[in-house]
């Protein structure tokens, strides 16, 4: 069994910014809307534009739409990132705090509320992550030292949230106010990796001991039908199988089920736990060895190296009704995944077809 590895994403893949326009996070836009509404409260009328600071010290200016002196909107521009909250009308309404000595942030319509532990926020709190919360409070402090009540809302936020993993994480009622730098960098995989970690943490916080890892939407649908676990346990890991396994093991989980297709599983079988196509290739020799070990007919053995894709090998195996090589690949992937976490998880690997409809091979 070869050692396992997680090849790092190259900078140009991890954050593709060349030729692409950056945008602003929901946290940045919420801080701008809140500051504008606070200015309206203090001065009697809302400004046409407002400047706010980002976590790394940069200051940026936003146009403001006002629905009254204390209710202001900043429209989110996600740049060239395919973000479901692009165009969201981040709305803040500000009033004096009469029930306490500190500023209170509330979730209005379209902003989610935390209903499960494991997210680093209190159950019942608005889904405003720590960095955006700090940004909002700092923006308000530039206007007044008086405590305020700030209600954040997003028209259509529930529909946007339906395109995210919020409901599975126990964030109900709308989107989350997110961001760590204040800037949306197009196609950033750092955010995806963080989301994978967060989803594993939430499942573990519910006391769950099995995590189900799916590589994409089709394998996720297959996993939903295959695995009798709560939906919170099913994580779409994309290329980040290694970090998901390590996080699950560290959280004390006991079992992982990986549901995927031939290409990703072949990479796992070779010990590659970060499977982005720019950082790893399918090991064709591994496929040929599996075919030979299974005593497969020559047409299957030849298919292993006939092209650069595992899909061709998979399709020939299925057409020849010779799936034992695929089972052996699953078995090797299972062993590699368990080795990656030093045996702290029992792993099952399930290979589904390319429509995500049928299980073709598995190893447990």
User: Domain residues for 165?
Assistant: 23-184
- C-alpha–C-alpha distance, residues 170 and 78, integer Å: 25
Q: How many angstroms separate the first and last alpha carbons of the chain?
A: 17
- C-alpha–C-alpha distance, residues 68 and 304, integer Å: 67
Domain boundary among 184, 208, 237: 184
Q: What is the residue-level pLDDT of the chain in tens, covering all 364 positions?
A: 556 766 555 444 444 444 567 889 999 999 999 999 999 999 999 999 999 999 989 999 999 999 999 999 999 998 877 678 999 999 999 999 998 899 999 999 999 999 887 777 889 999 999 899 999 999 999 999 999 999 999 999 999 999 887 888 889 999 999 887 888 766 556 667 878 888 999 999 999 999 999 988 788 889 988 888 998 999 988 888 999 999 999 999 999 999 999 999 999 999 988 765 444 577 889 999 999 999 999 999 999 988 777 888 999 999 999 999 999 999 999 999 999 999 999 999 999 998 888 999 999 9
Does the residue 15 lie in any domain?
A: no
Tally the domains of the chain.
2
- C-alpha–C-alpha distance, residues 139 and 249, integer Å: 40
- Quickly list DSSP for 31-86: HHHHHHHHHHHHHSS--SEEEEE-TTS-EEEEE-EESSTTEEEEE---TTS--TTT
230 with 175, same domain: the answer is: no
333 with 280, same domain: the answer is: yes
109 with 228, same domain: the answer is: no
Q: Which burial class, exposed, middle or buried, applies to 102 when counting CB atoms under 10 A from its CB (0-12, 13-18, 19+)?
A: exposed
246 with 330, same domain: the answer is: yes
Domain boundary among 140, 165, 184: 184
221 with 310, same domain: the answer is: yes
The pTM assigned to this predicted structure is 0.66
Domain boundary among 133, 161, 184: 184
């Amino acid at each position: 069994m070869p050692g396992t590895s997680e090849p790092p994403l190259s900078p140009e893949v991890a954050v593709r910014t060349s030729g692409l326009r950056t945008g602003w996070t929901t946290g940045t836009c919420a801080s701008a809307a809140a500051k504008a509404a606070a200015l309206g409260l203090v001065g009697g009328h809302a400004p046409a534009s407002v400047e706010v600071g980002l976590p790394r010290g940069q200051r940026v200016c936003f146009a403001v739409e006002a629905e009254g002196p204390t209710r202001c909107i900043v429209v989110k521009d996600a740049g060239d990132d395919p973000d479901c909250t692009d165009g969201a009308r981040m709305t803040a309404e500000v009033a004096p705090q009469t029930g306490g000595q500190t500023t209170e942030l509330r979730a209005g319509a379209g902003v989610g509320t935390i209903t499960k532990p494991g997210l680093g926020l209190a159950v019942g709190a608005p889904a405003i992550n720590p960095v955006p919360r700090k940004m909002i409070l700092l923006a308000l402090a530039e206007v007044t030292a008086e405590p305020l009540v700030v209600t954040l809302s997003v028209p259509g936020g529930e529909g946007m949230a339906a395109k995210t993993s919020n409901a599975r994480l126990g964030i109900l009622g709308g989107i989350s106010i997110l961001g760590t730098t204040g800037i949306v960098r197009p196609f950033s995989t750092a955010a995806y990796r963080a989301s994978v970690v967060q989803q594993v943490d939430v499942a573990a916080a519910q006391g769950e001991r099995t995590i189900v890892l799916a590589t994409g939407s089709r394998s996720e649908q297959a996993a939903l039908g295959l695995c009798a676990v709560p939906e919170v346990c099913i994580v779409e890991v994309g290329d980040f199988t290694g970090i998901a396994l390590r996080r699950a093991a560290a959280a004390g989980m006991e079992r992982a089920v990986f549901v995927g297709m031939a290409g990703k599983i072949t990479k796992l079988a070779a010990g590659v736990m970060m499977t982005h196509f720019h950082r790893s290739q399918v090991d064709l020799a591994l496929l040929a060895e599996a075919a030979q070990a299974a005593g497969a007919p020559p047409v299957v053995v030849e298919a292993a190296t006939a092209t650069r894709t595992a899909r061709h090998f998979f399709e020939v195996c299925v057409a020849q009704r010779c799936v034992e090589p695929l089972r052996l690949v699953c078995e090797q992937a299972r062993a590699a995944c368990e080795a990656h976490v030093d045996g702290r998880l029992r792993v099952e690997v399930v290979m589904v077809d390319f429509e995500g409809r049928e299980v073709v091979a598995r190893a447990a």
